[in-house]
């Protein structure tokens, strides 16, 4: 079944269309660029369904995209149709959440690397610190607290 057939078949509900197209995006049977090119030629309702399918795929797994998706959904925020704006904003939200989780994981791994690298030479307890370098334990607790609050 192709994209045209899915959108021409009126017996298929919108959620089923989103699930099918999203599954194609996740399995990489359908490239995101091809879906966005198809969405440009559609009505605003079908365009919103295509963007919702991208949002579905972004929420379920990491789909390989480049900056074209982000620029497309950013431009879609200026559309008249409220559902297109809503779905575009949700795609941006999920992309940012994924980026934030990745950045947070890298930050956390950096702190762990820092701990294991310097804990052999320096103590984090102020009374045991040598070479004049002191790492108060409250600083480390503050770092981990600020990470968990994000």
Is residue 135 in some structural domain? no
Is residue 29 in some structural domain? yes
Measured distance CA(29)–CA(38) in Å, rounded: 15
Name the pTM for this structure: 0.65
Is residue 149 in some structural domain? no
Lowest-pLDDT range of 19-28, 38-47, 119-128: 119-128
64 versus 7: the higher-pLDDT residue is 7
What token pair was written down for 77?
Answer: 């925020």
Residue 136 has pLDDT above 60, yes or no: no
Q: Look-up: residue for tokens 């934030």?
A: 100
Residues spanned by the domain of 29 = 3-121
Measured distance CA(40)–CA(37) in Å, rounded: 5
Q: Please count the structural domains in the chain.
A: 1
Minimal CA–CA distance to 111: which of 150, 81, 80? Answer: 150
Is residue 146 in some structural domain? no
Other CB atoms within a 10 A radius of the CB of residue 57 amount to 26
Q: What is the pLDDT of residue 58?
A: 83
């Amino acid at each position: 079944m192709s994209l045209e057939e899915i959108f021409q078949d009126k017996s298929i509900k919108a959620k089923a269309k989103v699930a099918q197209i999203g599954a194609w995006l996740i399995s990489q049977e359908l490239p995101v660029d091809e879906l966005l090119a198809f969405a440009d030629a559609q009505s605003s309702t079908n365009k919103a369904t295509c963007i919702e399918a991208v949002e579905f795929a972004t929420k379920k797994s990491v789909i390989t995209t480049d900056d074209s998706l982000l620029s497309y959904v950013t431009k879609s925020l200026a559309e008249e149709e409220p559902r297109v704006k809503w779905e575009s904003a949700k795609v941006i939200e999920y992309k940012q959440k994924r980026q934030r989780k990745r950045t947070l994981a890298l930050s956390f791994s950096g702190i762990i690397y820092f701990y294991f690298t310097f804990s052999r030479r320096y103590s984090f307890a102020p009374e045991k610190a040598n070479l004049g370098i002191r790492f108060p334990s409250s600083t480390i607790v503050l770092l981990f607290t600020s990470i968990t609050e994000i």
